[in-house]
Amino acid sequence: MTDRFAAPTILEDALILLGEDHAARPVAGGTDLVVAARQGRAPLPESIVAIDRIAELARHEIGPDALVLGALVSHLWLAASPDVRTSWTAVADASAIVGSPSTRGTGTIGGNLMNASPAAETTGPLIVLGASVTLLASGGVSRNVAVGELATAPGRTIATPGELLTTIVVPRPPAGSGSAYIRLEYRRAMEIAVVGAAAIVTLGGDGRIAAARVALTSVAPTVIRAPTAEAALVGRAADPATFRVAAEAAAAAARPIDDVRASADYRKAMLGVVVARTLAAAAARARGESIPVPASRWAPGQEV
């Protein structure tokens, strides 16, 4: 049961409250918090600072060099924005399949990152796109952290008591790039990834892969990069044979677990399939082909 509750409308007021009460937890949409409490996995925190009324955290800006998101930007907005769907497509792919329509309208990008789930949908896309976050404390003390360095374990981040994630900056991908996120799912709503993969592929003038980044979900305690898969892509043709080699490298490096949703062996086997499909979608988008959002609903041959 929550003993203390505050709902500031000014960012500095929220930071002061978080700095003075280290038991306080900032809450925006609260979708993960409520589910965990109802399922008995985690009690409600004894102190809550609701940040959903802080207008400064809801801003978004699409600039020539980057997409700048406040922590309160919703998955619904990210999935629907024409600019995000065009230039930061993997983020749109992931946001479009978070929870249910009501979850996407309520849940926020900042909450998804700070929940630090190894199955978080948006983390992999943000990692491959080179995103960073700002952690801010009272008095204007801030630091910038790469998204790939934010989570340290399931449910844990490097944020210290009193720090609040306020902003996410996602650089604009270089010309000739395409990105995608695909997960293995048993159903199409209220689902989390059994395994998932995010990728960005940049093609050179000769059509070969000039650069690539791959991230994997649900195969380690945190969302991780797949450097061996990336190395298997650079300089090669953007074709199914190359994607299979990279997918095998990613699967070999993964360390999934057995749980009620899937065995480790099944996750490893399916990871190869998911990585190959994700790379195919990212490369197709890099060539200017139209792959629908979310890419999880697409298979090779279904271009529109």
pLDDT in tens, 20-60: 998 899 998 776 666 666 666 667 788 999 999 999 999 99
150 and 242 belong to one structural domain: no
Answer with the one of 171, 188, 205 that is the final residue of a domain: 171
Within this chain, do residues 145 and 252 fall inside the same structural domain, yes or no? Answer: no
Does the pLDDT at position 253 exceed 90?
no
Express each pLDDT in 144-175 by its tens digit. 999 999 999 999 999 999 999 999 999 999 99
Higher pLDDT, 89 or 22: 89
Domain that holds residue 43: 4-50
- Residue 189 and residue 127 share a domain: no
* pLDDT value at 204 more than 80: yes
Judged against a pLDDT cut of 80, whether residue 185 lies above it is answered with no
In-domain check, residue 215:
yes
Q: Please tell me whether residues 26 and 73 are part of one structural domain.
A: no
The pLDDT assigned to 46 comes to: 86
71 and 152, same structural domain?
Answer: yes
**Does residue 158 sit within a domain?**
yes
- 227 located within any domain: yes
- Average pLDDT of the chain? 92
Question: Looking at residues 193-222, what average pLDDT do you find?
Answer: 95
Query: Structural domain tally of the chain?
Result: 3
Mark whether 187 and 285 lie in a shared domain.
Answer: yes
Name the domain boundary from 120, 141, 171.
171
Q: What pLDDT is recorded for position 258?
A: 80
pLDDT, residue 211, reads 98
46 domain residue, yes or no: yes
Residues 41 and 79 occupy one common structural domain: no
pLDDT at 286 over 80: yes
| pLDDT for 246 | 98
For residues 24 and 130, give the distance between their C-alpha atoms in angstroms, rounded to a whole number.
30
On whether both 64 and 44 belong to a single domain, the answer is no
